[in-house]
Chains A and B, each alone.
Chain A
Amino acid sequence: MDTSPPRISPRAEPAPPPSGRPDRPQGPPLGQEPRDNQPDTGGTPPPTDRPAPPPTESRGRVRIGDRVFSGAARGSGIVLLAVMAAIAGFLTLRAVDALGKNEGNFLTTFEWTPNAEPPVFGVAVIAFGTVVSALIAMIIAVPIAVGVALFVSHYAPRRIAQPVAYLIDLLAAVPSIVYGLWGALFLVPHMIGLTTWLDAYLGWTHVFDQTSTGVTPRNLFTAGVLLAVMILPIVTNVSREVFLQVPRMHEEAALALGATRWEVIRTAVLPFGRSGVISASMLGLGRALGETMAVATVLSSSPVLSLKILDPGGGTIAQNIAANFGEAQPIGRDALVASGLVLFLITLLVNGAARLIIARRKEYSGANA
């Protein structure tokens, strides 16, 4: 086996060692000898059972670095899993604690008075408010986001498209507290006109009915509008990615058949992008469900469960946590953790559904916002 020719050639061509030698611990003196025996096994370590002791030793040396490194890589993956498990575990632990002391029904009670004696609290109002405000945000944001995504991918003149995409990227990074501040001090006063108008002309729908007109619109509707503004950049970005991946041939085929631009979009772009848009909206929904600060600044909360979205009141889970955390006693904190667990479960469901849809169309790699 140990023929001399192969032994000479690697020495004559020392290409691999120099690149790595500098920072290899005690590399040069020991590295040279093993390398003489190395070439016949190649770079990969298939365990060829050669009875020669020196080669196995050298392979062992190489493998230590490899083992440490792959161990570290796998270890951090496991750390990540452990963190996830810990999150679920601790939240459940505290929540169970709190629920044991709860004198009301956690799912149907309206009040949130865990610090009172006896403690009574329930997630009915805030879970409802969470879902409703997020749904309002979706209804407003998704059509507009799809429009903007189409604008960037298909309609805008090329000179505008790039800066617009860039601008929307940047806006996705604006912190939520800034949206909250803007919503509370700018949007709320500007919503008065729209709410009175909706109340006057669409009041008969019950949803848009305002019990007492002229109140400051610190309501679920305004919160929904603000959330819509916040999730718009995310939904737009993901949808745009998908629309840009539509096979050129599909579009050109449609054009060749005489389709107008809208017909191209309707027959080629939208069908291709549908699942992408759905998952984008669900990612946006997940974001809207968990949003804290924007809702906390805009909404004036109260334990009222009502479908009249223009009436001030209601609340969301995240907003409730932010608002009640300051004066919460131990039971109160545990109660907030319990509501957080509910929020966690809701977002898990929504995100899980989104991921399932994405997984079915694997090619949308852009959908990992």
Chain B
Amino acid sequence: MSTTTKPTVTPPASVLTQRRLPRWAPAATALGAVVAGIGIGAGAGLTSEIQWGLIAALLFVGALHVLSTRVEGSRKAKDRLATSLVWVCFILAVIPLVSLLEYTIRKGAKVLDGYFLTHSMNGVATIEPGGGVYHSLLGTLEQVALATLISAPIGLLTAIYLVEYGRGPLAKAVTFFVDVMTGIPSIVAGLFVLSFWIIWLDFSFSGFAGSMALSILMMPVVVRSTEEMLKLVPNELREASLALGVPKWRTILKVVLPTAVGGIVTGLMLAVARITGETAPVLLLVYGAATINTNPFDGAQDSLPLYIFQQWKNGNEPSYDRAWAAALVLIALVMALNLLARGVARWKAPKPGH
């Protein structure tokens, strides 16, 4: 491929300059590697595009290294090797992620329309097209709202405790266990509520049971993010307020929290976005239903992630289409929350005081 080995002109090289590859050498090598990768892949009859990409990536890294060693010497060549490896890593990482988004959008747009968003699966046979996600969307929103109602106050107050009051063994224990809680697998949270609420207290499956598991997952995230934000509030503000005779609790409510509100809201919304996509606890606790159930405290509900899983399990084309469309709705919901959160963060960015 690219036979661009020779640098164009090397005048009587002064001692301080080295021979270098031209600026366009990496790009040219990349292009050559891609072409060769496709050529080899197609020629050898490899069916998987993943392999074509891997071949091209290997060729690129190898060729550039060899070129650079011959022209620029080994130190420079190592530098180039690292650079090209980093670029390859980046592309390797971006491809599946972009493919995921692209595939979901392409597949999901097929079925997604107003009808899909406003109808439930009531009376729709799994093998025929039609039906919608209304009941699951409703369920998800209710469960997430309930979970937020439970965990936001507890999370906020715990963070306030840790930052403003926390001293001694209790604060240490709380910090440690918040860390531990962050790492709880979602299915374990689901199992806990299952054994506590459904097996021990003998309640039935309901949206509320799901919200409890979701709030277990949400609390530590809220505590962590709020804690970070409260720590950013400069101490001078607190001291000024206290010096004016304002009691501590009013200082916290009127000075500390308003200063950090942007970051706190952002953290909350990111936590909400995270639990919106949780499937495992919902699978164990909400159970799933094809009909609209507006009451999260009574009887099985549905939720978007669960809907996707059920449709995938049905294993036929119309169900797959529905699954993709629901996935698109879910991603849109989560992304919207994320973007909104970031918007709030930018809008009310706390100014660290130093």
**A107 on the interface (CB 8 Å rule)?**
no
Taken residue by residue from 58 to 97, chain A's Cβ proximity to chain B (1 for < 8 Å, 0 otherwise) reads as: 0000110110111011111111110110110011011000
Interface-facing stretch out of A202-210, A246-254, A256-264, A305-313 = A256-264
**A167 on the interface (CB 8 Å rule)?**
yes
A346 to chain B, nearest CB (A): 9
Contact partner of B338 among A170, A178, A182, A368, CB < 8 A?
Answer: A170
If A44-B242, A151-B89, A186-B103 touch, whether A344 touches B334 (CB-CB below 8 Å) is no
Task: Assess whether B187 is in contact with A343, with CB atoms less than 8 Å apart.
Answer: yes
Taken residue by residue from 172 to 188, chain B's Cβ proximity to chain A (1 for < 8 Å, 0 otherwise) reads as: 01100111111111111
**B273 on the interface (CB 8 Å rule)?**
yes
Q: Which residues of A contact B191 (CB under 8 A)?
A: 91, 321, 336-337, 340
Task: Assess whether B245 is in contact with A20, with CB atoms less than 8 Å apart.
Answer: no
In chain B, residues 251-266, which have Cβ atoms closer than 8 Å to a Cβ of chain A? 252-254
Task: Assess whether B335 is in contact with A290, with CB atoms less than 8 Å apart.
Answer: no
Q: Which residues of A contact B187 (CB under 8 A)?
A: 290, 292, 318, 321-322, 340, 343
Complex Cα distance, B191 from A149, in Å, reads: 35
Interface-facing stretch out of B123-131, B279-287, B289-297 = B279-287
In chain A, residues 135-174, which have Cβ atoms closer than 8 Å to a Cβ of chain B? 143-148, 150-151, 155-156, 164, 167-171, 173-174
Chain B contact residue count (CB 8 A cutoff): 106
Chain A contact residue count (CB 8 A cutoff): 110
Task: Assess whether B179 is in contact with A351, with CB atoms less than 8 Å apart.
Answer: yes
B341 to chain A, nearest CB (A): 10
In chain B, residues 287-325, which have Cβ atoms closer than 8 Å to a Cβ of chain A? 305, 308-309, 312, 320, 323-324
Complex Cα distance, B76 from A73, in Å, reads: 58
Complex Cα distance, B324 from A186, in Å, reads: 12
Task: Assess whether A262 is in contact with B82, with CB atoms less than 8 Å apart.
Answer: yes
Interface-facing stretch out of A1-9, A35-43, A49-57, A114-122 = A35-43
**A265 on the interface (CB 8 Å rule)?**
yes
Q: Closest chain A residue to B89 by CB distance?
A: A147
Task: Assess whether B194 is in contact with A43, with CB atoms less than 8 Å apart.
Answer: no
Complex Cα distance, B234 from A107, in Å, reads: 53
Q: Which residues of A contact B47 (CB under 8 A)?
A: 192-193
**B27 on the interface (CB 8 Å rule)?**
no
Task: Assess whether B188 is in contact with A80, with CB atoms less than 8 Å apart.
Answer: no
Chain B contact residues, majority secondary structure: helix
Q: Which residues of B contact A194 (CB under 8 A)?
A: 48, 50-51
Task: Assess whether B324 is in contact with A91, with CB atoms less than 8 Å apart.
Answer: no
Complex Cα distance, B160 from A84, in Å, reads: 19
Complex Cα distance, B323 from A181, in Å, reads: 8
Chain A contact residues, majority secondary structure: helix
**A48 on the interface (CB 8 Å rule)?**
no
Task: Assess whether B250 is in contact with A79, with CB atoms less than 8 Å apart.
Answer: no
Q: Which residues of A contact B76 (CB under 8 A)?
A: 260
Q: Which residues of A contact B220 (CB under 8 A)?
A: 80
Q: Which residues of B contact A156 (CB under 8 A)?
A: 90
Complex Cα distance, B187 from A144, in Å, reads: 28
**A220 on the interface (CB 8 Å rule)?**
no
Task: Assess whether A148 is in contact with B158, with CB atoms less than 8 Å apart.
Answer: no
Question: What 17 new A-B contacts, CB under 8 Å, besides A20-B250, A177-B277, A177-B308?
Answer: A73-B157, A81-B174, A147-B85, A147-B86, A148-B86, A150-B86, A164-B94, A171-B101, A175-B278, A182-B103, A186-B100, A194-B51, A197-B46, A260-B78, A286-B183, A296-B309, A344-B185
Using CB atoms and an 8 Å cutoff, list the residues of chain A in contact with chain B.
15-16, 19-20, 24, 35, 38-39, 42-44, 62-63, 65-66, 68-70, 72-81, 83-84, 86-87, 90-91, 93-94, 143-148, 150-151, 155-156, 164, 167-171, 173-182, 184-187, 190-194, 197, 229, 232-233, 236, 260-263, 265, 283, 286, 289-293, 296-297, 318, 321-322, 325, 330, 333-334, 336-337, 340, 343-344, 347-348, 350-352, 355, 365, 368
* CB pairs A–B below 8 angstroms (28 shown): A16-B241, A42-B245, A43-B247, A68-B249, A69-B252, A72-B157, A77-B161, A77-B174, A78-B170, A81-B173, A81-B177, A87-B192, A94-B199, A147-B88, A147-B90, A148-B86, A151-B87, A155-B86, A155-B87, A173-B277, A174-B100, A175-B330, A178-B277, A181-B312, A182-B100, A236-B93, A262-B79, A333-B199
